[in-house]
Amino acid sequence: MSTPRRIVFVVAWWLLLSALAFVVRRDLVVDSDLRSFMPPARNADQKLLLDEIGNGPASRLLLLGISGAPPERLAALSHGLARTLRNDPHFARVLDGETDAVALDPALLPYRYLLSPTLDKVALDTTFLRDQLEQRVEDLSSPAADMLKDLLPRDPTLEVLALAQRWTPAKVPLTRDGVWFSPRGEALLLAQTHAPGFDPVAQAEAINALQTAFAVLPDFAAAQLTISGPGYFSVRVGESTRAQAEWLSAFGSLGFVALLLLAYRSVGVLVLAALPLASGALVGIAALILAFGSVHGITLAFGFTLLGVAQEYPIRVFSHRRTDADARTSVREVWSLLRLAIVSACIAYVAFFASGVPGLQQLAVFTITGLLVAGAATRWLLPAVLPVHFRDAAESRGLEPTRAWLAALPRPRWLPWLLFALALALLWLAPTPLWQNDLAALTPVPPALLAREGELRDALGAPDVRYLLVLDAQTADDVLRLSESISPQVEQLISAHAVDDVELPSRYLPSLATQRARQATLPNRATLTAALDAALQDLQFQPGLFAPFIEDVETARTLSPLTPAEFARSPFGARLEAMLVPRDEHWLGLATLTGVHDPAAFAALAASNAGQVRLLDLKAASEALIAQYRERILQALGVALLLLALTVAIAFRDLHRAWHVIAPMSLATLLVLAVLRISGVSLSLFHLVALTLAAGLGLHYALFFERKVENAAEARRTLHATLVCVISAVLVFGLLATSTLPVLRAIGLTVAMGVAFHFCLSILMAQGSQES
Amino acid sequence: MRLLKKPLLMRGELDYGGADKLGKRVEQPYRETTMIAGASVDVQREGRTPRRFSLDRAPELQALLVGFSALLGGDAVALGKFYTVSLVDKATNWTLTLTPREPALTKHLREIVVDGTGNESQCFSLHQADGDASVMLLGALAATKLADPPTLPALAEICHRIAP
């Protein structure tokens, strides 16, 4: 192709990619819910777990503290912030200690005799009423009289206050100027987001709204707003991971560009090298949009890392060009091996698809599409635009001595076996558990933030995010009955300090049976009037003052008991609604716990209730879930390795040569594992992904070294291409390995070390080119 | 008091411990001790389990007690924060009228009137928005023989109230 036509072709290719990029950008919906990287739930418990992780009320709570100013200022800021946030669509509930409506809906007032347990112990008779009325006289002579005066005629026994007390959590913060304060003197608030706790993007929006609301309050600058809670952590961790990854990738890319310039001495090559990869990436994203609708952020980040393999395709083409053949011929000569490498890599990624985890399936679709497109672009498009004039890589300075030195290295046959034995020994001696099931350990929250979280959670008496008491029964009312029946046992656990507080659903609404039983004990109008008259003897209350009370008791006698659905309309209804969850033909009651000190103590509670009550440890359950699907990935990877060996054997039609390719790849992977394990690293999903990537790169090295070549120049070209690939991979991933974040370090270290081992072992064991 | 046929009469002791510490002991017709320390109130009545509640649940009560405490402690700044203060005096007697500033408080409390002579407060009267009132006779006046039932004008007379 002539130079002008080539330029037109390259420009057209770029324009096409830009158009595709525009469409992709327009249609791309990035999803950030971490549950996409969890396997689909297989039973009710797992479904509950996935709902609760991030969606439960506890994980949607943001804990806020305002400090650094005099208490009155802090109280005013707290009030102001709460008022703004209550009108903000990001938040479902904002509490700052302001005396909120503990009162019942007026229409529900007569229900107080069915809801309050007071009359379970005493009857509404003269003795009880007399005692209560005497106390009211005393109340009227106290400064609190004014608050009670309006209530007394309707509620002389103060059942409404008894209910309010029952519904107040056991541990509430100190209140000053109507606002919660911590012992350290900071104003405290609780804000519940609509967004799930582990959707960092949606949480970031809510946190942004929160910070904006704070920053427009008068005199906000004098005070500091502290935010804590699971949602905030997921945002912070996401931000710091992204920031570090971007920095390190930018340095890596600069190094890569410099390396390409050094290796090929041409700026044009830089432009061309980017084309196949960019094509693969864009078509890969387009495929994801078509197949899944939305794309997970992690899929994109990981996908681009995995697609890095495709950078090798143009490099192989550049290094293997010969001056005595045209571009197409040169490409055709390496294509059979490249094709084999692409097919093998795709087989490995099919294993991720088989995992059944939506995030990994997306990753597989993206990587496989990307590799196929990048491969095809390298094979059929790239040759058309390669420059006519170029420098034969075989003539690079210093290459021949290096090749000769490598070729002359001793290759004792026992060395691989020794390494194999050594790797097994190291794996056997490894000091730590094989698997790291706690995904959070890879993206740890800074200890200072965690300590603050602990303080705020303690001061606010906010519920535990890890534990949940699950009550399982046939109907919602059965759940309430069960809740009532375990209440004494739960009280014992609280007094034994196994837990600070348990918020059972029956705290808010008794079962229908209990309500009916209470109704049955209420006296009729005549009896109550007589009892009240007797109780009022020589007390100075105005005659007829308590008529509304008699009216309410009479109403309560004939009410139909309050159902959860009806109760949902009252201010506390939302609380109960969140605690009662319908699930496949039966109902679950979710009781939140505060301050769990002894989880084991709940075993007896579960045992004595025939499995209807259990303590759900969200952390342990999610770890078990991860362990379970990792098994599936490992099985799939095992099958993939077999298929891969078969593919290579078929391609070479020679078991001996296939062994030369598979053996160094497997041994290098084993060695990486051994080094990681002996240095105390427990493996995670990220390590598996990184190992797969390294193995894909290693396969290239072994394949090309094993290739039979006719002359020393071609052997030099192979070495040139491989060196460019190895150095660039070690550079990019070695930089990631220097990260302070465990997840980036895991990927960087594993791939960089893997690439080095694969290269050395390929030199040692794949010897096709050297033998000829 | 509108809920009652006739006023309640009680006898007891006040105990001012400075700043935000205040104690009230009722001896007749029943025995009760109320201790206010900071934001929490402890009420102990003979033959009943003690109760403790937080003042923050009742902001209007808190304002009242802050006012009372500031008055006893002579803290004019704290007093001025919650009330407009007006003073009339004639010879050795004086009458101090406190009108609450905050709407939340005026809803319940019309005014607090303190009558005194020389350096001593003698009467402490709360007039509520709904017309109910309570009058506390302090020191020597506490021994005064009252009419049955006592009326507000009669009590004002005993306190040497000076009309504004």
Please give the full DSSP string across A132-147, using - where no structure is assigned: HHHHHHHHHTSTTHHH
The nearest alpha carbon in chain B to A543 belongs to: B5
Same-domain pairing of A27 and A113: no
More confident residue, A446 or A487: A487
- Region A231-246 average pLDDT: 83
Please give the full DSSP string across A414-450, using - where no structure is assigned: HHHHHHHHHHHHHHHH--S-SB---GGGGSPPPHHHH
Q: Which candidate from A134, A152, A540 shows the least CB-CB separation from B5?
A: A540
| pLDDT per residue as tens digits for the range A409-434 | 888 889 999 999 999 999 999 888 88
Same-domain pairing of A274 and A387: yes
| pLDDT per residue as tens digits for the range A717-737 | 999 999 999 999 998 899 888
Q: Does some domain include residue A740?
A: no
pLDDT at B61: 67
- Report whether pLDDT(A74) > 70: yes
Same-domain pairing of A271 and A385: yes
CB of A352 within 8 A of CB of A630? no
Structure tokens given for A496: 């034994």
pLDDT at A372: 96
Contact call for A541 and B3, based on CB within 8 A: yes
What is the count of structural domains for chain A?
Answer: 2
What secondary structure letter does DSSP report for A68?
S
Same-domain pairing of A364 and A281: yes
ipTM over 0.85: no
Phi-psi region of A607 (alpha: psi -120 to 50; beta: other; left: phi over 0): alpha
Contacts of A693 (CB under 8 A, 6+ apart): A305, A306, A308, A309, A751, A754
More confident residue, A330 or A283: A283
The nearest alpha carbon in chain B to A541 belongs to: B4
Q: Does some domain include residue A179?
A: no
Query: B2 and chain A: CB distance < 8 Å anywhere?
Result: yes
- Report whether pLDDT(A20) > 70: yes
pLDDT at A754: 94
| pLDDT per residue as tens digits for the range A84-114 | 998 888 988 888 876 544 456 677 788 889 9
- Report whether pLDDT(A460) > 90: no
| pLDDT per residue as tens digits for the range A732-771 | 899 888 888 888 888 899 999 999 999 999 998 876 544 4
Per cent of chain A over pLDDT 70 is 95
| pLDDT per residue as tens digits for the range B11-31 | 888 787 766 677 888 887 788
pLDDT at A151: 84
Domain termination site, one of A358, A391, A424: A391
Torsions phi, psi of A197, nearest 5? -65, -30
| CB-CB neighbors (< 8 A) of A99 in chain B | 56-57, 59
| pLDDT per residue as tens digits for the range A128-138 | 999 899 888 88
Q: Is A229 helix (H, G, I), strand (E, B) or coil?
A: coil
Same-domain pairing of A273 and A163: no
Same-domain pairing of A299 and A381: yes
- Report whether pLDDT(A174) > 80: no
- Region A341-363 average pLDDT: 85
Burial A523-553 (b: 16+ CB within 10 A, else e): beeeebbebbeebbeeeebeeebbeebbebb
pLDDT at A22: 92
Q: Does some domain include residue A662?
A: no
Domain that holds residue A374: 1-31+266-391
Query: B86 and chain A: CB distance < 8 Å anywhere?
Result: no
Beta bridge partners of A66: A187, A225
Structure tokens given for A545: 């003052």
| pLDDT per residue as tens digits for the range A507-516 | 889 999 999 9
- Report whether pLDDT(A611) > 70: yes
Give the residue from B3, B27, B65, B108 with the most A CB atoms within 10 Å of its CB, the best one to mutate: B3
Burial A615-624 (b: 16+ CB within 10 A, else e): bbbbebbbbe
Q: Does some domain include residue A638?
A: no
Residues A709 and A330: their CA atoms lie apart, in Å, by: 13
More confident residue, B36 or A21: A21
pLDDT at A629: 74
Torsions phi, psi of B44, nearest 5? -120, 125
Same-domain pairing of A276 and A386: yes
Contact call for B56 and A175, based on CB within 8 A: yes
Q: Does some domain include residue A387?
A: yes
Same-domain pairing of A114 and A8: no
Average pLDDT of chain A, as a whole number: 86
- Region B52-67 average pLDDT: 66
- Report whether pLDDT(B68) > 80: no
pLDDT at A206: 94
Q: Band of the pLDDT at A772, cuts 50, 70, 90?
A: very low
| CB-CB neighbors (< 8 A) of A187 in chain B | none
pLDDT at A81: 93
| CB-CB neighbors (< 8 A) of B132 in chain A | 145-146, 149
pLDDT at B93: 87
Q: Band of the pLDDT at A48, cuts 50, 70, 90?
A: confident
Torsions phi, psi of B25, nearest 5? -120, 120
pLDDT at A759: 94
Q: Which amino acid is at A166?
A: R
Q: Does some domain include residue A232?
A: no
Q: Does some domain include residue A272?
A: yes
pLDDT at B163: 75
pLDDT at B57: 57
Burial A233-254 (b: 16+ CB within 10 A, else e): bbbbbbeebeebbeebbeebee
Same-domain pairing of A274 and A373: yes
Same-domain pairing of A277 and A385: yes
More confident residue, A328 or A372: A372
Torsions phi, psi of B134, nearest 5? -135, 140
- Report whether pLDDT(B160) > 50: yes
Structure tokens given for A317: 């083409």
- Region B140-164 average pLDDT: 82
Same-domain pairing of A373 and A288: yes
pLDDT at A443: 66
Contact call for B4 and A176, based on CB within 8 A: no
- Region B142-146 average pLDDT: 81
Same-domain pairing of A108 and A13: no
pLDDT at A725: 92
Domain termination site, one of A561, A583, A615: A561
- Region A456-478 average pLDDT: 86
Domain termination site, one of A367, A391, A415: A391
Q: Is A473 helix (H, G, I), strand (E, B) or coil?
A: strand
Query: B162 and chain A: CB distance < 8 Å anywhere?
Result: no
Q: Does some domain include residue A663?
A: no
Contacts of A4 (CB under 8 A, 6+ apart): none
Average pLDDT of chain B, as a whole number: 80
Per cent of chain A over pLDDT 90 is 30
The nearest alpha carbon in chain B to A146 belongs to: B108
| pLDDT per residue as tens digits for the range A381-416 | 998 888 877 888 888 888 899 988 988 888 888 999
Contact call for B48 and A541, based on CB within 8 A: no
